[in-house]
C-alpha cells in the first residue's frame, strides 16, 4: 500500500477474504493456514492488518481474534460500512464499533475507519459520536475510506471547528487503471495532512498475469464457482469493494457505489498483452510494473 506523508512504505495485509465461511466471500477458511500466512507476513518485517465489521458476512474480526492478533503484536485497523442510509447514525455506529471490539476481543484498535460516506445525515452527527469513542480510549487514529475529496475537506474542517478527533489517514482504491484519486483526493489529503494507503494495487489480481482473457475462469475469485460473488468481482465497484463481503443475497443500496469500473473486460487484457513483451524485454514482471 502507498503512503504519501510518511516516507517509509507500509505493507498492510487486507483481511477481506480471510474467514470461516466461503459462501460469504472467504478464500482462506482454515485457521491453521491463516496463522501460517500471518507468520510469513511478520517474518518479512510487516505488522499491519486491515479488517472491517462487514467482511466475510461479519465473521472476519472473530477469525482474526482466533489467530491471536494481539498476542502477535499486530497493528490493526477496522471499519464500519454504511450498507444502508442511516448506518452512520450515532447510535448505530457506536453499537457496531463496540461489536467490532467484542469480536476482536480488545478494548482498543489502532485505526477506526469510516468505510464510506453516509450521505443520508450530516457528517457532524457521526463525527460527534466517533469523537466520544476516541475520548473513551477505544481507538487511536481516525481514518476515512472511499470519501470524495470535498467530503474529506468537510470532515476535517468540521472536526477542527468542534475540537473533535481529526482523520489522519485515508484509504482508497488505486492502481494503474483506477487513478481517479490523483486529481483531487491526493492534493486534498496532502493539504489536510492525511496519510494515504491504497487497496487493490494489482486490480484484484488482474496484473498478476494469471488471467489472460475476459472469459469466465473455472476457478478463483472471478469464477462462477463462488456463486454471485464471482459476478460481483468481475463487475467490481470502484467506490468500495466491501460489497463483496456480504452474502450472495445481499442487496447493495448505498448510492456512493453507483459508479462501477469493471476490470474483467477485453480492453484490460489487450493492454496486458501489449505490456507483457515490453516487461519481459526489461526483465520485469507485470507485478513489478503494477507496483511502480
Phi, psi (5° rounding) for residue 170? -125, 135
**The pLDDT of residue 237:** 40
Determine which one of 34, 46, 55, 192 is catalytic: 55
More confident of the two residues 276 and 164:
164
All three cell numbers of 169, joined, read: 489517514
How many other CB atoms are found less than 10 A from the CB of residue 141?
A: 17
pLDDT tens sequence across 229-246: 667 666 654 334 334 333
Rounded Cα–Cα distance for residues 110 and 253 (Å): 29
pLDDT (tens digit per residue) in 54-92? 999 999 999 999 999 999 999 999 999 999 999 999 999
How far from 190 is each of 10, 157, 195, CA to CA, in Å?
Answer: 17, 14, 8
Cα–Cα distance, 184 to 286 (Å, whole number): 28
Helix (H, G, I), strand (E, B), or coil: what is residue 15? coil
- The domains of the chain, with CATH numbers, are 12-206 (3.20.20.100)
The helix (run of H) or strand (run of E) holding residue 97 is helix 90-104
Tell me: the pLDDT tens digits for 195-236? 999 998 988 888 888 887 777 777 766 766 666 666 766 665
Supply the Cα-derived Rg of the chain in whole angstroms.
Answer: 19
pLDDT in the model for residue 196: 96
To the nearest 10°, report the CA torsion of 88, 91, 93, 95. Answer: -150
CA 255 to the chain's CA centroid: 18
- Which grid coordinates belong to 171? 484509504
- Catalytic-residue membership of 55: yes
User: How many Cα atoms sit within 13 Å of 3 on the Cβ side?
Assistant: 11
Q: How confident is the model at residue 176 (pLDDT cuts 50, 70, 90)?
A: confident
**Does the pLDDT value for residue 142 go beyond 50?**
yes
Amino acid at each position: 500500500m502507498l503512503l504519501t506523508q510518511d516516507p517509509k512504505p507500509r505493507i498492510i495485509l487486507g483481511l477481506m477474504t480471510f474467514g470461516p465461511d466461503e459462501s460469504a466471500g472467504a478464500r482462506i477458511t482454515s485457521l491453521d493456514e491463516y496463522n501460517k500466512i500471518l507468520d510469513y507476513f511478520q517474518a518479512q518485517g510487516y505488522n499491519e492488518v486491515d479488517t472491517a465489521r462487514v467482511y466475510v458476512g461479519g465473521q472476519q474480526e472473530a477469525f482474526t481474534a482466533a489467530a491471536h492478533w494481539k498476542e502477535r503484536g499486530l497493528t490493526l485497523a477496522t471499519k464500519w460500512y454504511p450498507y444502508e442510509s442511516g448506518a452512520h447514525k450515532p447510535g448505530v455506529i457506536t453499537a457496531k464499533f463496540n461489536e467490532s471490539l467484542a469480536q476482536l476481543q480488545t478494548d482498543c484498535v489502532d485505526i477506526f475507519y469510516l468505510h464510506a460516506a453516509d450521505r443520508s445525515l450530516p457528517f457532524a452527527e457521526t463525527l460527534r459520536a466517533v469523537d466520544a469513542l476516541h475520548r473513551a480510549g477505544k481507538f487511536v487514529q481516525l481514518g476515512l475510506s472511499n470519501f470524495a475529496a470535498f467530503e474529506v475537506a468537510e470532515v476535517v474542517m468540521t472536526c477542527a471547528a468542534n475540537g473533535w478527533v481529526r482523520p489522519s489517514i485515508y484509504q482508497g482504491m488505486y492502481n494503474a487503471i483506477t487513478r481517479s484519486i490523483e486529481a483531487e483526493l491526493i492534493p486534498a489529503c496532502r493539504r489536510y495532512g492525511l496519510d494515504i494507503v491504497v487497496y487493490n494495487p494489482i486490480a484484484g489480481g488482474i496484473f498478476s498475469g494469471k488471467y489472460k482473457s475476459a472469459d469466465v475462469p473455472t476457478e478463483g475469485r472471478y469464477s462462477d464457482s463462488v456463486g454471485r460473488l464471482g459476478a460481483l468481482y468481475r463487475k467490481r465497484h470502484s467506490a468500495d469493494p466491501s460489497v463483496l463481503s456480504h452474502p450472495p443475497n445481499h442487496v447493495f443500496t448505498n448510492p456512493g457505489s453507483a459508479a462501477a469500473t469493471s476490470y474483467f473486460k477485453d480492453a484490460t487484457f489487450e493492454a496486458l498483452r501489449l505490456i507483457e513483451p515490453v516487461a519481459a524485454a526489461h526483465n520485469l514482471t507485470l507485478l513489478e510494473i503494477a507496483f511502480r
